[in-house]
């Protein structure tokens, strides 16, 4: 034991220093991830951005287990970014069913972990059930990206979808609207509208209610091109309201020629502009 004692003293002396260094390392990892994820500026290139997005996700995942539980805001930030990043990687770049399902699944799990980091959420879930907890959650980012991730994940799990999953998606987006309907350029309004327009009425869909939310999203952010494209594809096309369809796509395409508009939401506006072009090509071919 005498031989071990000096090493024990040395360990006790070094341990606090190691803890500080670890904290610095966590901050550096998160900062590096946030910088890689940042899409601001005129130099955004959609094809090249995949590498930066993957790097950001990797760095956040490396940082996550190193964050102390008492660092509530930091942990929530990383979990919410991971939920969003996984959703965007699957939506923008992944191509196979297996890859997409896995990414959306990871995203929903990160968002759920973020939600359950709130003791009030856990208490409500234990007392009144998961859906009640969703409807009373307070972190708009966590609940919004949970709704997006699980909504996409359910495409690969129809049984889960019809046995309550769809209702959870609606609850997520409705609560997001209550918390901050302006988040992500009208994201909660846009997401609920797209969901209501695409889902059969037996599972909670409502095309006319969807229209109201599409209109709200457009009012909130007229430079978020997905607001026009979703409205055209999911509502006007279904209703065969071709005047509205053409007007929405024309507006999206016109706005898409302005680099300043694209730069406001570069990732999503680039994706939406491509969808608008595809829908317009379909429209022109249909008219011939």
Within a domain: residue 232?
no
Instruction: Report the domain count for the chain.
Output: 1
Within a domain: residue 211?
no
Within a domain: residue 168?
yes
The 10s digit of each residue's pLDDT in 118-175 is: 999 999 999 999 999 999 999 999 999 999 999 999 999 999 998 889 999 999 999 9
Q: Is the pLDDT of residue 288 over 70?
A: no
Q: What is the pTM of this model?
A: 0.90
Within a domain: residue 27?
no
For the residues 201-222, what does the mean pLDDT come to? Answer: 94
Q: What are the DSSP calls for 36-48, one per residue?
A: HH---STT--HHH
From CA 168, how far away is CA 54, in angstroms rounded?
A: 28
Within a domain: residue 99?
yes
Burial class, 240, CB count within 10 angstroms (exposed 0-12 / middle 13-18 / buried 19+): exposed
For the residues 182-200, what does the mean pLDDT come to? Answer: 96
| Whole-number Cα distances in Å, 98 to 90, 103, 104 | 10, 9, 10
Degrees to nearest 5, angle at CA 211 with 208 and 217:
155
Letter string b/e over residues 37-61, b meaning 16 or more CB atoms within 10 A of that residue's CB: bebeeeebebeebeebbeebbebbb
* Of 3-7, 228-232, 239-243, 266-270, minimum mean pLDDT range: 3-7
Counting residues of the chain whose pLDDT is more than 90, the rounded percentage is 83
Within a domain: residue 204?
no
Other C-beta atoms closer than 10 Å to the C-beta of 116 total: 15
- Residue span of the structural domain in which 159 resides: 73-180
First to last CA, the chain: 90
From CA 237, how far away is CA 94, in angstroms rounded?
A: 26
From CA 85, how far away is CA 148, in angstroms rounded?
A: 11
Within a domain: residue 83?
yes
Q: Is the pLDDT of residue 14 over 60?
A: no
Within a domain: residue 112?
yes
């Amino acid at each position: 034991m005498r031989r071990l004692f000096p090493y024990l003293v040395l360990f006790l002396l070094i341990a606090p220093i190691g803890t500080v260094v670890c904290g610095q390392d966590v901050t550096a990892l998160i900062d590096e991830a946030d910088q890689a994820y940042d899409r601001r500026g005129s130099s955004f290139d959609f094809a090249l951005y995949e590498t930066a997005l993957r790097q950001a996700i990797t760095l956040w995942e490396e940082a996550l287990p190193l964050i102390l539980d008492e660092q509530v805001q930091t942990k929530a930030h990383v979990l919410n970014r991971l939920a969003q990043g996984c959703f965007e990687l699957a939506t923008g770049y992944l191509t196979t069913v297996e890859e997409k399902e896995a990414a959306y699944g990871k995203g929903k799990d990160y968002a759920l972990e973020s939600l359950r980091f709130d003791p009030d959420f856990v208490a409500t879930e234990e007392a009144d059930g998961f859906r009640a907890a969703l409807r009373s959650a307070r972190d708009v980012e966590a609940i919004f990206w949970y709704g997006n991730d699980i909504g996409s994940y359910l495409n690969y799990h129809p049984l889960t979808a019809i046995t309550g999953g769809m209702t959870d998606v609606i609850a997520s987006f409705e609560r997001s609207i209550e918390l901050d309907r302006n988040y992500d350029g009208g994201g909660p309004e846009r997401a609920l509208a797209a969901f209501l327009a695409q889902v059969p009425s037996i599972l909670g869909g409502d095309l006319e209610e969807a229209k109201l939310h599409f209109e709200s999203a457009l009012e909130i952010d007229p430079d978020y091109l997905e607001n026009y494209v979703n409205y055209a594809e999911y509502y006007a096309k279904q209703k065969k309201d071709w005047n509205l369809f053409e007007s929405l796509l024309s507006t999206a395409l016109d706005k898409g020629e302005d680099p300043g508009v694209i730069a406001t939401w570069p990732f999503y506006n680039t994706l939406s502009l491509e969808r608008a072009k595809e829908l317009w090509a379909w429209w022109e071919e249909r008219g011939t």
